[in-house]
Chain A
Amino acid sequence: MIWNETMECMSREDMRKLQGIRLKKTVERVYHNCEPYRKRMQEKGITPTDIQTIDDIVKLPFTSKKDLRDYYPFGLLSSPMSEIVRLQASSGTTGKPIVVGYTRNDLNIWGEVGARCFTAYGLGKNDVVQVSYGYGLFTGGLGAHGAVETIGGAVIPMSSGNTEKQIMLMHDFGAVGLACTPSYALYLADALLDSGIPREEFKLKVGAFGAEPWTEGMRKELEEKLGIKAYDLYGLTEIIGPGVGHECQHQNGTHLCEDHFYPEIVHPETGEPVPPGEMGELVFSTITKDGMPLLRFRTRDLTSLDYSVCTCGRTSVRMGRILGRCDDMLIIRGVNVFPSQVESVICEIPQLEPHYLLIVDRINNLDTFEVQVEMKEDFYSDEVSKMLDLRKQIAHRLQNVLGISPDVKLVEPRSIERSQGKAKRVIDKRIFK
């Protein structure tokens, strides 16, 4: 099923024309409404008149997560606050989150692209969909929510957690679709088995999974355990949230909604475009958003693009699996975590040495996240309660900054490896490839 055939099956030539028109409009908008963009374009000696077709996009400067941080909270908005109707955020690198403002029109776009995703998964207005992404500042919950409402389906706004109730309502409300992170879906799969309710009493057919990297192996496991088709639901907070792209019934790449989000692949170091089909860093430009358009946003994700027509009939470009990151960002339980965030917290706690080790693993399908820290010698106490209080305090401060709660482990003095040069701060035992 296709939600918007005009857009999703447009000829490549028409699509490029449309993208050019939309890019030009967006560039005009940011140039006249957002000072950081205007200044950067002027520094490069370009004005909106230099952007006539989509090919001209390479003339524009890049933007990065750092820009979102530097202009926190509202410096990159291109609409006045009177037109902003929603703020969402994801964790940033230094404790300040990354904030995105949406106008009513942006929310409509979000609903539109989300509708394309859920329609591609075979869901429609007759279906009940359980949204078990977290609701709140995180775009997952409200993004999937808006998508299901747009196709006219019935949303169960479950949010994450409370597993027993998840299973009960999935059963009692007859959920056909489940939207959540793939690791949480695996967790729910086990809970479903444990519930003892026979599988045939559930109507579940489709999973819309995203917000963290997952593998073909996980897909197979999810499909077998849950007896469903498991599809990728792709998105980034900075661009809009879930709905930037989706798989179709053929599960051979993630279709990008490129009439709204124009993708490029560039060399991670030089920033030069790579030949079509080759791997490189994914870069997005939003070409329809009003609230906070981003031009040439460096995602730091490594992948490739395939422009051939898909068996499903869509002409929209397909993104391959994300094969890694060109920075040190980790995605743990769907949350972006930078080692530097952990470092900033640890350096602020006087009892701790500035050394730490992050250990990430996936056990029983849930990400585990351990932070090992060393205390300064004088603070090792004879009292267990003092040490446990300190551990709790560290965990609390990390949770405030990271948005997820780590297991803090106090280790013996000098047991964390000191290295010259680049220290090994992260052990990620999860396998994504």
Chain B
Amino acid sequence: MLIKQLSIFLENKKGRFTEVTNILGNAGINMTAFTVAENSDFGIVRLIVSDPEAARSVLREHRYAVSVTDVICLQTPNKPGSLAQVMTILMDAEVFIEYMYAFSSGNGALVIIRPDNLEKTMAVLSENKVELLASDELFAL
């Protein structure tokens, strides 16, 4: 149930992200989700894509620093309070979240989480009947 996320290091320079999207587009790679963590000098783009391995090698060819990290994708109802429920479960289990990002559409909301302990998080969420998505399910959406 782990999902491969790509992280790309980008300097804060004009046109860098445009170039990344062009490279992925030309390689026929689709993006499902992304987020940018930035500070004054650089940004880290975190991406969920249709083919992480292909995306990584094409970006490396273009000399980008790309790393691959396992993350978890969970699904909650698109309703007030549903994320709070999940967060409470994780807090009670003492899971520390490095970062997360989310998007919602229709009845469902998808949350991507990078916790400090992947196995424990998956176990805790499964026990509590939180729905986790595998990558093929995610890309089928």
Interface residues of A (CB under 8 A from B): 375, 377-378, 380-385, 387-388, 409-415
Contacts and interface: CB of A to CB of B under 8 A. Distances in A.
B110 to A, nearest CB: 18
A413 B66 CA distance: 10
Contact of A412 (B10, B37, B46, B67): B10
Contacts of A409: 41
Contact of B37 (A375, A377, A384, A411): A384
Contacts, number: 50
Given A383-B114, A385-B98, A387-B9, 7 more contacts: A377-B65, A381-B44, A382-B67, A383-B99, A384-B38, A384-B44, A412-B11
A382 B41 contact: no
A122 B6 CA distance: 67
B14 interface: no
A380 B10 contact: no
Interface residues of B, number: 21
Interface string B21-40: 00000000000000001110
Interface in B71-111: 98-99
A380 B63 contact: no
Contacts of B99: 383
A383 B63 contact: no
B63 A382 contact: no
A383 B11 contact: no
8 contacts: A381-B7, A382-B7, A382-B114, A387-B44, A410-B9, A410-B42, A412-B63, A415-B63
A409 B12 CA distance: 11
The 9 closest A-B pairs by CB, nearest first: A382-B7, A380-B65, A380-B9, A382-B69, A384-B37, A413-B65, A414-B63, A409-B41, A412-B11
B11 to A, nearest CB: 5
Nearest to B43: A384
A388 B39 CA distance: 9
B69 to A, nearest CB: 5
Contacts of A410: 9, 41-42
Contacts of A415: 11, 63
B64 interface: yes
B5 interface: yes
Given A377-B65, A380-B65, A382-B67, A412 B9 contact: yes
